[in-house]
């Protein structure tokens, strides 16, 4: 058994908590990272209590001074955290009372740990969202800069991982950019629902004290107070929504990672990653392994798992707060940490990718990537598309047999399949002609890539 019942709530109990149960139920090992936000919320709450006539000015000064001293001690690693005090909230409050006496015991007036922890998490997550948004923007900027440099670089575009049509590397990179635009929008939209204040909802029903929730909401930078006390303390939708956004971000990074891994292989040989983002083999001296994208790809499952954990955590909970909700923090914390690291790695790595232009262009020459261009050419000569499709299919079959790309065939060879094919067909059968012809919004033409880059920079400014 632990030495005594918890001084913060033990009046009802005749014996101390079992020592194992104390460890099992405590969250101080992981929720102590909320210390700044807990103190920030407590200061705002104390100022509101003084404004409402519940605390004197002297009591407020003592509380604020005591909390500032505790903050300094925590940041200088001078605090010994107590499992018996369960969590960050009780650890800070107990130390405050030890420092300033009975005034510290008045801090909890008009609130509960239920609304306190909900406030702390929202304050913490809001700050983390802003930092993640900055890393997302840094990655987007790196992609845009690289896309501009590679606007003319031709590579094969794929469907089913088979050569489909030629595209520009810059166009492909701007597709990645568009994924991140949606991620950024979702992150900011999620922030709106994070940024409401549950402080003052108390345990579940509100409080009988004359509190001013608008004051604390404004003091803490929230948009408004929450509207229902039951929902305020039990809601974890914002954490689930954030993890959903995080899972999508990681899914996009994983898709990028897969392509980076493929492109660095000897079989593709499209790009080179900087050595500092790769590792070697303990036995094969020639190896240069793309460990960063591989690990990002692997970490996606971790974040997806956290989303499922939180959904499962909340699926059967009755109103209002339940101890289950202690389990919300570790998945949420790890999601943020993982996202930060992965976005940082990509933001650092992407701008330094080196394209192997010759390999890319040579790959685009294989696989009859201009076949659709030939079909479009025939359509412009008046042939129905389905007929053009059949003609080009026969030409491709001939090319496979003769080991010739369409652009390598003579006019005489091509004319066998349709007498509408003339000398000007070679204007569309070249890779450069193919990509340049797609000069419309969203197209792969170098001109459109540069316009997309310009638009992206306008969005960021």
The residues carrying an active-site annotation are: 160, 281
- How far apart are the C-alpha atoms of 209 and 216, rounded to whole Å? 14
- Please give the DSSP secondary-structure letter assigned to residue 166: E
CB 301 within 8 A of CB 254: no
Q: Is cis: bond before 100, omega within 30 of 0?
A: no
Instruction: Name the residue with tokens 């094919």.
Output: 421
- How far apart are the C-alpha atoms of 183 and 174, rounded to whole Å? 14
Structure tokens at 187: 């992150």
C-alpha dihedral (181, 185, 191, 192), degrees to nearest 10: 170
- How far apart are the C-alpha atoms of 243 and 97, rounded to whole Å? 37
- How far apart are the C-alpha atoms of 18 and 368, rounded to whole Å? 73
Instruction: Name the residue with tokens 């899972």.
Output: 247
**What's the number of CA atoms in the CB half-sphere (13 Å) around residue 143?**
26
The residue ranges of DSSP E strands in 113-221, in sequence order, are: 154-159, 162-168, 196-197
- b/e 147-166 (16+ beta carbons within 10 angstroms → b): bbebbbbbbbbbeeeebbbb
Residue 32 main-chain phi, psi, to 5 deg = -70, -15
Count of C-beta atoms within a 10 Å radius of residue 253:
26
Helix or strand run (H / E) with residue 331: helix 329-349
- How far apart are the C-alpha atoms of 18 and 1, rounded to whole Å? 4
- How far apart are the C-alpha atoms of 141 and 124, rounded to whole Å? 26
- How far apart are the C-alpha atoms of 224 and 129, rounded to whole Å? 18
- How far apart are the C-alpha atoms of 230 and 375, rounded to whole Å? 64
- How far apart are the C-alpha atoms of 53 and 347, rounded to whole Å? 51
Burial class (CB in 10 A: 0-12, 13-18, 19+), 275: exposed
**Among 374, 390, 352, which Cα is nearest to 433's?**
374
């Amino acid at each position: 058994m632990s030495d005594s019942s918890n001084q913060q709530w033990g009046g009802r109990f005749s014996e101390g908590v079992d020592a194992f149960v104390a460890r099992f139920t405590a969250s101080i090992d992981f929720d102590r990272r909320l210390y700044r936000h807990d103190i920030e919320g407590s200061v705002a709450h104390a100022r509101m209590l003084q404004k409402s006539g519940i605390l004197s000015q002297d009591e407020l000064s003592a509380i604020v001074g005591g909390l500032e001293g505790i903050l300094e001690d925590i940041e200088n690693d001078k605090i010994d955290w107590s499992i018996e005090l369960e969590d960050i909230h009780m650890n800070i409050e107990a130390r405050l009372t030890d420092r300033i006496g009975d005034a510290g015991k008045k801090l909890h007036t008009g609130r509960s740990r239920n609304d306190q922890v909900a406030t702390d998490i929202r304050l913490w997550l809001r700050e983390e969202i802003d930092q993640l948004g900055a890393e997302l923007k840094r990655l987007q900027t790196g992609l845009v800069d690289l896309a501009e440099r590679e606007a003319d670089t031709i590579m094969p575009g794929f469907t089913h991982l088979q050569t489909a049509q030629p595209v520009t590397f810059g166009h492909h990179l701007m597709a990645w950019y568009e994924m991140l635009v949606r991620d950024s929008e979702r992150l900011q939209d999620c922030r709106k629902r994070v940024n409401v204040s549950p402080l003052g909802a108390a345990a579940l029903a509100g409080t009988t004290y004359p509190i001013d929730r608008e004051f604390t909401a404004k003091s803490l930078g929230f948009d408004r107070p929450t509207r229902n006390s039951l929902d305020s303390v039990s809601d974890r939708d914002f954490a689930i929504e954030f993890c959903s956004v995080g899972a999508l971000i990681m899914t996009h990074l994983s898709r990028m990672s897969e392509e980076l891994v493929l492109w660095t292989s000897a079989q593709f040989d499209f790009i080179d990653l900087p050595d500092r983002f790769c590792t070697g083999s303990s036995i094969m001296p020639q190896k240069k392994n793309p460990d960063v994208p591989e690990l990002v790809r692997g970490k996606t499952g971790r974040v997806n798992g956290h989303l499922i954990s939180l959904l499962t955590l909340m699926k059967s909970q009755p109103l209002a707060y339940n101890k289950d909700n202690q389990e919300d923090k570790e998945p949420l914390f790890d999601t943020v940490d993982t996202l930060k690291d992965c976005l940082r790695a990509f933001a650092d790595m992407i701008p330094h990718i080196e394209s192997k232009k010759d390999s890319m262009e040579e790959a685009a020459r294989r696989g009859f990537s201009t076949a659709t261009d030939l079909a479009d050419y025939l359509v412009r000569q008046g042939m129905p598309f389905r007929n053009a499709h059949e003609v080009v299919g026969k030409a491709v079959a001939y090319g496979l047999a003769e080991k010739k790309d369409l652009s390598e065939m003579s006019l005489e060879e091509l004319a066998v399949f349709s007498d509408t094919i003339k000398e000007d067909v070679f204007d569309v059968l070249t890779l450069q002609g193919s990509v340049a012809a797609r000069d419309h919004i969203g197209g792969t033409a170098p001109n459109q890539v540069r316009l997309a880059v310009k638009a992206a920079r306008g969005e960021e400014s």
